[in-house]
Amino acid sequence: MRKFSYKNLFKKLIDLDMTNNELMEKANVSKSTFYKIKNGQNVTTDVLLRICNTLDYDISEIVECEKVI
């Protein structure tokens, strides 16, 4: 089984010196949706696209598909 991982997103935020709150505001992502991301839960592709557009990254740069053991 596989699941999505958003670890790269949080690494990119550190590299960009951007806070979670800044990203939520700029990408128009609610706290509850961001909570899902932080906890590795699924979010809509619309949310991921807004984040990608805000950060100017491709989705493959912020989301990985990891094997669950």
pLDDT tens digits for range 25-39: 999 999 999 999 999
Candidates 1.10.260.40, 3.30.300.30, 1.10.3720.10, 3.40.50.150; CATH matching 2-67: 1.10.260.40
Q: What is the pTM of this model?
A: 0.90
pLDDT-based confidence at 20, cuts 50/70/90? very high
Q: At CA 43, angle to CA 11 and CA 12, rounded to 5?
A: 10
Residue 18 has pLDDT above 90, yes or no: yes
* Domain extent listing, the chain: 2-67
* Per-residue pLDDT at 69: 80
Distance, in Å, from the CA atom of 67 to the CA atom of 52, rounded to the nearest integer, reads 23
pLDDT in tens, 38-65: 998 999 999 999 999 999 999 999 999 9
Q: CA 65 to CA 1: how far, in whole Å?
A: 10
